[in-house]
């Protein structure tokens, strides 16, 4: 276990190193930050001063080391647009994204698992076939297109829900959240559904496959033969056993929900990190782009690590140290 | 492909004919194939079919802008699918956009297949440290969602056709490498490989003529699915404004352009390119699904 975590941590460091190198290369080698930082009217002396201030007069490898050193101490530069530290700008937008991700995950779990259970228990019924058809559609449609259709149907045609933006926020547990009241929640519904659709399809299909596999196993037959109530057989015996792979997938998808929020946030003008990074790319606000990428990668690697460890706790059959290949 | 001698004696059919017959067994897959062929033909012959050259700005008339489907232009011709904000015929724009989307998807898919397959097969063939390191890279990369990897690359490289293709290749190669390796690991220990090596054939010949052709079936299946993914991802990037330039509008960019008009009820500018994108992706997926069933040796009929 310890060896495993150690190995994963070194792998994490490697991934961060490669990402930072890539991003650094794009930031300092391909483009010239001075061109963007300094107004076009600036004279040669001012340019030179900015060059020294940014450390651009030093050789490339030294610049990179400086960049890494600053990054390690949490300094990823100042946003050109906001004039504040890039990390601060991103952390400010984080609650909005996490809120959206939470809504999406809740929808996919609490709609997906029951539908998957049904489809798995009655695979030949018409409703089950309908559920599976929906899941195939959810798999193959591009997220942004579904988002547009949702806006067109529910906001433009029916006028039930607001199309874009985030609702009024209130202070909750020290964060500015919008989903604690209906006024704010209704803004989160369409983007939440949009972001959930892919995960929902995934969870439906996974649950169904797990149920189909497990109902044939001896422990299920035994539970039924014992004369247990159906609700107990399904709710306790079956659910417990199909939970292990589900937890893994749900955990892994948590990271990808945050990454995919880029698309959803752009469509619904949701003021989260994803929209911020797209705006920053257009405004050439590179420090924010770098900070976003580093934070997201870090978050991702961390989630993967936690899932791996959780998996070994949930399922004693999985021995982490044995998985050396 | 190796068919066992017994089955060729019993059924007087070439493997290709058998493959075609197996494929035709699913009606929905045949529909998908027909749809896919239609889409490909439309894209290929777009310059001859399209009523208008959407890139030729001199042909556009701002008076024709934002017309509903079926309305008449100033010149008297009919816009079947309406026009966009610049007075461009949507049908023509879609046909040309389809061309761009398919081209980017297929080109990136084929290059990624070539890179991924050679790395994957060579990893299985040579093994050792090389295999370990390569597969670890594949594992790490597949741990990240495609959109994030693509975003990092686009942020670093900037946008443009060749950059989008590079990003798509980078996103996809790992899937091919993983598939090719696992297929090659199975094939490596089969008798024909032993025979090829026993004959003293040079390594490159064993790899190219014997091992790689036999790892192709699973790669083709992954390939169809990946091309659909690549098209969707390119559309997403273009929709975000990070993909292809406006001079070569792909379907994603057309959808994005129409988005601003959608809230005012002018749905067609965005919806029809979306429908075209959808039909393409669904058609590819239907064909891919059936290919998976037909080419899967475990489901051999």
- Tell me the shortest Cα–Cα distance from A222 to chain B, in angstroms: 31
Torsion of CA B220, B221, B225, B227, to 10 degrees: 10
- Helices and strands (H, E) in chain A, number of each type: 13, 2
Note which residues in 94-153 of chain A have CB less than 8 A from chain B: 140-145, 148-149, 151-152
Structure tokens at B259: 């988005």
pLDDT of residue A322: 46
**Which one of A155, A263, A293 has the shortest CB-CB distance to B155?**
A293
Range from A121-125, A289-293, B176-180, B269-273 that averages highest in pLDDT: B176-180
Please give the DSSP secondary-structure letter assigned to residue A166.
-
Q: How is residue B253 written in tokens?
A: 């960019």
Contact B212, B187 (CB under 8 A): no
Q: Which helix (H) or strand (E) holds A16?
A: helix A2-24
A158 touches chain B (CB under 8 A): no
Q: Do B148 and A259 touch (CB under 8 A)?
A: yes
Protein fold of B27-46+87-299 = MetI-like fold (1.10.3720)
Question: Is residue A19 within 8 Å of residue A294, measured between CB atoms?
Answer: yes
Comparing alpha-carbon positions, the chain B residue that sits nearest to A280 is: B155
Q: A34 pLDDT band (50/70/90 cuts)? A: low
The pTM score is 0.79
Cβ contact, residue pair B143, A11, below 8 Å: no
Q: In chain B, what are the domain boundaries?
A: 27-46+87-299
Instruction: Calculate ∠ Cα A238-A240-A244, nearest 5°.
Output: 115
Decide which of B22 and A91 is more confident.
Answer: A91
Is B142 at the interface with chain A, CB within 8 A? no
Write the pLDDT tens digit of every residue in A246-278: 887 887 788 788 888 888 888 888 888 888 888
Whether B145 and chain A come into contact, CB under 8 Å, resolves to yes
φ, ψ of residue A172 in degrees (nearest 5): -145, 120
> In sequence order, what E strands does chain B have?
71-72, 78-79
Longest CA pairwise span in chain A (Å): 88
The answer to whether the beta carbons of residues A206 and A246 sit under 8 Å apart is: yes
Decide if B267 and A152 are in contact by the 8 Å CB cutoff.
yes
Take residue B32 and report the two structure tokens written for it.
Answer: 């998908």
User: Looking at the complex, does the CB of residue B299 fall below 8 Å from at least one CB of chain A?
Assistant: no
Runs of H (alpha helix) within B240-267: 251-262
- Shortest Cα distance from B136 to chain A (angstroms)? 9
Report the percent of chain B where pLDDT is more than 70. Answer: 82
Structure tokens that stand for A79 in this block:
């946003």
CB contact under 8 A, B236 and A142: yes
How far off is chain B from A27, nearest CA to CA, in Å?
7
CB B258 within 8 A of CB B90: no
B157 or A179: which leads in pLDDT: B157
Taking phi over 0 as left and psi of -120 to 50 as alpha, with beta for the rest, A284 belongs to left
| B229 contact residues in A (CB cutoff 8 A) | none
**Listed range (B58-72, B185-199, B269-283) with the worst mean pLDDT:** B58-72
Return the number of CB contacts < 8 Å for A and B.
97
All domains in chain A, ordered by first residue? 88-264 (1.10.3720.10)
Asked whether the predicted pLDDT for residue A10 surpasses 60, the reply is: yes
Q: What is the DSSP code string of A170-205?
A: EEETTEEESTTSHHHHHHHHHHHHHHHHHHHHHHHH
d(CA A4, CA A15): 16
pLDDT digits (tens, 9 = 90+) for B283-296: 888 888 788 777 76
Q: What is the DSSP annotation of B32-73? A: HHHHHHHHHHHHHTHHHH-SS-TT-GGG--GGGTTPPTTEE-
- Measured between alpha carbons, how far is B217 from B201 in angstroms, rounded to an integer? 24
Instruction: Judge whether residue B1 has pLDDT over 50.
Output: no
Which residues, listed in sequence order, are joined to residue A170 by a DSSP beta bridge?
Answer: A177
User: Please, is A214 exposed, middle or buried when counting C-beta atoms within 10 Å of its C-beta (0-12, 13-18, 19+)?
Assistant: middle
- Could you report the predicted ipTM of this complex, rounded to two decimals? 0.74
Identify the closest residue of chain B to A28 by CA–CA distance. B156
The Cα A45–Cα A56 span in angstroms is 14
Nearest C-alpha of chain A: how many angstroms from B30?
Answer: 18
Chain A residues with CB inside 8 Å of B241's CB? Answer: 278, 282
Of A27, A140, A278, the CB nearest to B281: A140
Residues 258-297 (A) with a CB less than 8 A from some CB of B: 259-260, 262-263, 266-267, 277-278, 281-282, 289, 293, 296-297
d(CA A78, CA A63): 17
Binary contact (A23, B156; C-beta < 8 A) = yes
Residue B147: the pLDDT is 84
Helix H or strand E segment including B288:
helix B268-295
Q: At what angle do helices A286-314 and A273-282 cross, to 10 degrees?
A: 150
pLDDT at B11 over 60: no
Calpha distance A262→B236 (Å, rounded): 10
How far, in Å, CA of A120 to CA of A117, rounded? Answer: 5
What the block records as the tokens of B282 is 């669904």
Q: Angle at which helices A126-140 and B268-295 pack, to 10 degrees?
A: 110
Picking from A30, A141, A262, the nearest residue to B147 by CB comes out as: A262
User: Which carries the bigger pLDDT value, residue A122 or residue B84?
Assistant: A122
Of B187, B8, A26, which Cα lies nearest the Cα of B196? B187
Task: Name which of A2-11, A176-185, A299-308 the model is least confident about.
Answer: A176-185
Average the pLDDT over each of A16-30, A77-91, B284-298 and give the range with the smallest value. Answer: A16-30
Asked if B263 has any chain A CB less than 8 Å from its own CB, the reply is yes
Q: Is the dihedral of CA B15, B280, B29, B169 positive or negative?
A: positive
Distance from CA of A151 to the nearest CA of B (A): 8
What does pLDDT average to over chain A?
A: 77
Instruction: Report residue A57 CA to chain centroid gap.
Output: 38
Q: What is the pLDDT of residue B108?
A: 92
Contact A30 B235 (CB under 8 A): no
Those residues whose C-beta lies under 8 Å from the C-beta of residue B240, and which sit 6 or more positions away, are A144, A262, A263, A266, A278, B256
């Amino acid at each position: 276990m310890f060896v495993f975590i150690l190995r994963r941590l070194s792998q994490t460091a490697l991934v961060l190193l490669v990402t930072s190198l890539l991003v650094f290369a794009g930031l300092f080698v391909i483009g010239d930050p001075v061109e963007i930082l300094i107004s076009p009217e600036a004279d040669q002396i001012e340019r030179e001063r900015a060059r020294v201030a940014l450390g651009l007069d030093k050789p490339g490898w030294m610049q990179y080391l400086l960049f890494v050193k600053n990054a390690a101490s949490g300094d990823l530069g100042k946003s050109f647009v906001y004039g504040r530290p890039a990390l601060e700008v991103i952390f400010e937008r984080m609650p909005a994204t996490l809120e959206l991700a939470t809504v999406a995950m809740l929808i996919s779990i609490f709609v997906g698992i029951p539908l998957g259970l049904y489809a798995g228990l009655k695979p030949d019924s018409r409703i089950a076939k309908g559920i599976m058809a929906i899941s195939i559609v959810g798999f193959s449609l591009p997220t942004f297109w579904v988002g547009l259709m949702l806006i067109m149907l529910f906001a433009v045609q029916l006028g039930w829900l607001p199309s874009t933006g985030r609702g009024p926020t209130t202070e909750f547990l020290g964060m500015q959240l919008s989903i604690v009241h209906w006024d704010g929640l209704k803004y989160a519904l369409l983007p939440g559904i949009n972001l959930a659709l892919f995960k929902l399809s995934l969870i439906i299909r996974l649950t169904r496959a797990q149920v189909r596999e497990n109902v044939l196993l001896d422990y299920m037959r035994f539970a039924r033969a014992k004369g247990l109530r159906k609700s107990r057989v399904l709710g306790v015996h079956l659910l417990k056993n199909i939970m292990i792979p589900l937890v893994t997938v749900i955990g892994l998808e948590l990271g990808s929900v945050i990454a995919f929020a880029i698309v959803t946030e752009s469509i619904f003008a949701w003021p989260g990190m994803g929209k911020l990074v797209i705006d920053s790319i257009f405004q050439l606000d590179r420090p924010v782009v770098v900070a976003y990428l580093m934070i997201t990668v870090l978050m991702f690697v961390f989630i993967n690590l936690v899932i791996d460890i959780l998996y070994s706790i949930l399922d004693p059959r999985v021995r982490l140290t044995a998985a050396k290949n | 492909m190796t068919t066992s001698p017994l089955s060729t004696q019993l059924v007087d059919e070439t493997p290709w004919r058998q493959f075609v017959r197996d494929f035709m067994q699913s009606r929905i897959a045949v529909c998908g194939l027909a749809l896919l062929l239609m889409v490909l033909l439309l894209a290929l012959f777009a310059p001859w079919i399209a009523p208008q050259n959407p890139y030729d700005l001199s042909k556009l008339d701002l008076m024709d802008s934002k017309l509903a489907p079926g309305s008449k232009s100033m010149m008297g011709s009919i816009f079947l699918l309406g026009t966009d904000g610049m007075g461009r015929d949507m049908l023509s724009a879609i046909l040309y956009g389809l061309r761009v989307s398919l081209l980017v998807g297929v080109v990136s898919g084929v290059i990624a297949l070539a890179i991924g397959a050679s790395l994957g097969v060579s990893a299985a063939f040579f093994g050792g440290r090389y295999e370990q390191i390569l597969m670890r890279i594949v594992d790490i990369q597949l741990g990240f969602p495609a959109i994030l990897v693509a975003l990092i690359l686009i942020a670093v490289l900037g946008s443009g056709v060749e950059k989008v293709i590079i990003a798509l290749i980078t996103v996809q190669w790992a899937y091919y490498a993983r598939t090719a390796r696992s297929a090659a690991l199975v094939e490596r220990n089969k008798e024909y490989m032993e025979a090829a090596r026993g004959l003293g054939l040079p390594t490159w010949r064993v790899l190219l003529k014997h091992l790689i052709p036999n790892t192709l079936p699973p790669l083709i299946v992954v390939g169809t699915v990946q091309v659909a993914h690549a098209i969707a991802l390119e559309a997403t990037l273009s929709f975000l404004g990070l993909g292809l330039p406006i001079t070569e509008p792909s379907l994603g960019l057309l959808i994005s352009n129409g988005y601003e008009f959608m809230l005012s009820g002018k749905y067609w500018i965005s919806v029809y390119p979306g429908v075209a994108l959808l039909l393409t992706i669904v058609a590819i997926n239907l064909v891919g699904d059936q290919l998976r069933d037909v080419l899967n040796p475990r489901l051999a009929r």
